[in-house]
């Protein structure tokens, strides 16, 4: 009997709390809007960004082209300043010697508007044969692999 009394009391307390929460949320004043801004709490270093890009997995060559008078810095400026593509956009570029690591935001399928997928690519310049290659990671999904091939094509056109 005592256990039943405790159970009824707990249920009554829960119902009372729910009613109070519902009442307080319905009577909240709309005029008391408080704007909050978000500060950057921590800025990743380039090494941490490269680690997050998982650059060791960028081992599939998606596209290669010849390029005379290639400059990695000129390619970076081209991608950031002059190359505007509506199908994807470049979020980050990090340069290491003759290699450029690029974080791209894109959609699947390629021409869709919701760019909620992130991918990393590397553009490598080989001085021995004046060739530029775009590397990405291996994808199991055929749709994603097709998007990667299209992004690689756009990147190679932009830098060569």
17 or 101, which is more confident: 101
Which of 81-85, 141-145, 149-153 tops mean pLDDT? 149-153
Dist CA 121 CA 143 (whole Å): 17
HEC secondary structure over the chain: CHHHHHHHHHHHHHHHHHHHHHHHHHCCCCCCCCCCCCCCCCCCCHHHHHHHHCHHHCCEEEEEEECCCCCHHHHHHHHHHHCCCCCEEEEEEEEECCEEEEEEEECCCCCCCCCCEEEEEEEEEECCCCEEEEEECCCCCHHHHHHHHHHHHHHHHHHC
* More confidently predicted of 84 and 118: 118
Indicate whether 63 belongs to any domain: yes
Residue 134 inside a domain? The answer is: yes
Identify the domain containing residue 150 by its residue range: 46-159
51 in a structural domain? yes
Is 89 a domain residue? yes
Residue 85 preceded by cis peptide, ω within 30: no
Task: Report yes or no on 141 lying in a domain.
Answer: yes
For the stretch 23-64, pLDDT in tens is: 655 554 444 555 567 777 788 888 888 888 878 888 889 889
Count up the domains in the chain and report the number.
1
Q: pTM of the prediction? A: 0.67
What's the CATH number where 63 sits?
3.30.310
Domain for residue 94, yes or no? yes
Residue 131 placed within a domain? yes
Residue 66, pLDDT > 60, answer yes
Look at residue 120 and tell me if it is in a domain: yes
Proportion of the chain above pLDDT 70, given as a percent: 80
What pLDDT is stored for residue 29 in this prediction? 46
């Amino acid at each position: 009997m005592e256990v039943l009394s405790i159970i009824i009391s707990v249920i009554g307390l829960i119902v009372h709390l729910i009613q109070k929460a519902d009442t307080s949320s319905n009577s909240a004043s709309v005029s008391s809007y408080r704007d909050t801004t978000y500060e950057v709490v921590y800025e990743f270093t380039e090494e941490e960004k490269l680690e997050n890009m998982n650059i060791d997995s960028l081992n599939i060559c998606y596209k290669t082209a010849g390029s005379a008078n290639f400059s990695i810095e000129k390619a970076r400026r081209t991608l950031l300043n002059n190359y505007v593509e509506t199908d994807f956009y470049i979020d980050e570029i990090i340069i290491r010697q003759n290699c450029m690591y690029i974080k791209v935001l894109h959609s699947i399928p390629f021409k869709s508007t919701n760019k909620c997928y992130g991918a990393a690519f590397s553009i490598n310049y080989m001085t021995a044969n004046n060739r530029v290659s775009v590397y990405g990671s291996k994808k199991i999904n055929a749709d994603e692999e097709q998007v990667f091939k299209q992004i690689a094509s756009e990147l190679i056109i932009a830098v060569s």
